[in-house]
Structure 1
Amino acid sequence: MDSTIRRVLREHGRLSTDPGQLAADADLYQAGMTSHASVNVMLALEGEFDVEFPDHLLKRHVFGSIASIERALGELDLQ
């Protein structure tokens, strides 16, 4: 899951740092991700994992780090 999240961030996050070099708990917004880019990341993750983020997970902090994205995806049924 980690490598897929990092690939999606590389393709859609518009980060100033390669996601492959970031610590899992690094702040993605400090690494250059904008609110607009976070929406693109969310949509790409939904497509990649065939899930839909429920309203309670549509918060800035959920997409604030690779670890928090992974936790949120872990809450969803990824069958």
Structure 2
Amino acid sequence: MKDELRKIIKDTVHFEVSIDTLSNDDDLYEAGFSSLNTIQLMLAVERHFNVEIPDHMLNRRLFQSVNSLAEAITTLQCGVPSV
């Protein structure tokens, strides 16, 4: 899943540095992630993984890193309510 997320990020978000140079824990906002990128990435992730990210999950922490996105998608796919 993380490789799929990296590809989606690479295709959707244009950082000043390559996503390939970032670890799964690196802060995407520090790499140049913006609020516009958040919307674009959210739509791409929802489409690719066939999930809907609920409003209560839409925050900076969700899009902080590849790991945080992967964790959220796993939660959504399993149908586990998140807080």
TM-score (norm 1): 0.91
Give the conservation status (yes or no) of the 8 Å contact 1:28–1:65: yes
| Match of residue 5 from structure 1 | 5
Q: Compare the two structures and name the one with the higher helix fraction.
A: 1
Aligned length: 78
Residue 23 of structure 1, CA deviation: 0.8
Contact 1:9 1:15 in 2 (8 A): no
Structure 2, unmatched stretches of 5+, are 79-83
Q: What's the RMSD between the two structures over aligned residues?
A: 1.1
In structure 1, C-alpha distance between the alignment counterparts of 2:51 and 2:21, rounded to whole Å: 26
Larger radius of gyration: 2
Q: Percent identity?
A: 35
Check if 1:47 corresponds to 2:37. Answer: no
Q: What does residue 17 of structure 1 align with? A: 17
SS of residue paired to 2:61: helix
Matched to 2:57, the amino acid is L
Structure-1 separation of matches of 2:21 and 2:74: 22
Query: Do the aligned residues in 2 keep the contact of 1:29 with 1:64 (CA within 8 Å)?
Result: yes
SS of the aligned residue for 1:9 comes to: helix
Separation in 1 of the partners of 2:2 and 2:44? 14
Equivalents in 2 of 1:4, 1:21: separation in Å? 16
Question: 1:20 Cα deviation (Å)?
Answer: 2.0
Which residues of structure 1 form unaligned runs of 5+? none
Deviation at 1:56, TM superposition (A): 1.8
User: Which amino acid letter does the alignment assign opposite residue 10 of structure 1?
Assistant: K
